Amino acid sequence: MIIDSHVHIFPEAVVKERGKFFKDEPSFELIYNSPNSRLASSRELLDMMDANKIDHAFTLGFPWRNISTARMHNDYLLEMSARYADRLSCFCCADTFVDGALQEIERALNCGAAGIGEIAFYGRGIDDGVVESLAPVMAICREKNVVIILHVNEPIGRLYPGKAPMTIVQIYGLVSRFHKNRFILSHMGGGLCFFHLMKKSAGVKFENVFYDTAAVPFLYEPIVYQLAMASAGKDKFIFGSDFPLINPSRYFNDFVKVSLPPDLKESLLYNNAKNIFHLTI
């Protein structure tokens, strides 16, 4: 059994004419302005899942500023997860800085979304303004006992569209403040996972923090899986491909290259997601 916990699909209208959605959406334009930045529909996702023998996937939303667009996208994800209930579940999203975002997120959760994400603040760090904008969302997550998936990135290395000037201090500050919330920090948490080894600084603050593997083949050497799981614990990581950015086969090939032990592979590909999302599959 394989669960892909981090994939992106968009409504057909967005896939076919993305340029129409750039107006007043600087983050969407930043990420998808290049024709090389792929957009996928549910059909492409299901075909990919069949080709890679993936049993279930969690589709993530986008932090749209326009609430009407956010609602359209969330409704599409909800519709696809209802139509293909045995294959897909969905998260919901909106830009937490805009009026109506909280109501839209709560509506989508009430309609069946499994959680909130991928919340992202492209182009800025997790500063005080970001933290304050997240506070009401975190309250909803605690009330409904759902997970929030947060886009974070490594503070060093090459630049790419959407890479924000965030720091480990900022990421740590966020999860410390909301330590009762269940987080999935994307992209190995920007490296936060390696700080679980620190004495007196992790503990309860990291108890509800989990990490996904989205974009890891672009960022780290394959040995990172063993090292990260040795640092934070094998129950802390879930497989996320970031499709259509990367095909899952690249991850599977890396697992073979480093001879990822069967117990770590099973935790990463299935057991941890099943436990975190309370799945019955």
Q: What's 181's domain CATH number? A: 3.20.20.140
What pLDDT is stored for residue 247 in this prediction? 97
Reference 117, options 185, 210, 168, 32; nearest CA is 185
Domain count, the chain: 1
Res. 280: pLDDT tops 90: no
What whole-number distance in Å separates Cα of residue 46 and Cα of residue 41?
9
What whole-number distance in Å separates Cα of residue 128 and Cα of residue 260?
39
pLDDT, one tens digit per residue, over 11-47 is: 999 999 999 999 999 999 999 999 899 999 999 999 9
pLDDT, one tens digit per residue, over 235-251 is: 999 999 999 999 999 99
What pLDDT is stored for residue 158 in this prediction? 84
pLDDT band at 199 (very low <50, low <70, confident <90, very high): confident
Range of the domain at 234: 3-276
What whole-number distance in Å separates Cα of residue 163 and Cα of residue 22?
19
Is 116 among the domain residues? yes
Identity at 73, one-letter amino acid code: H
Assess contact for 116 and 92: CB atoms under 8 A: yes
197: helix, coil or strand?
helix
Is 281 among the domain residues? no
Is 130 among the domain residues? yes
The three state secondary structure string of 203-241 is: HHHHCCEEEECCCHHHHCCCCHHHHHHHHHCHHHEECCC
Is 200 among the domain residues? yes
Res. 116: pLDDT tops 80: yes
Is 152 among the domain residues? yes
pLDDT, one tens digit per residue, over 40-95 is: 999 999 999 999 999 999 999 999 999 999 999 999 999 999 999 999 999 999 99
200: helix, coil or strand?
coil
Is 154 among the domain residues? yes
* 190-217 mean pLDDT: 91
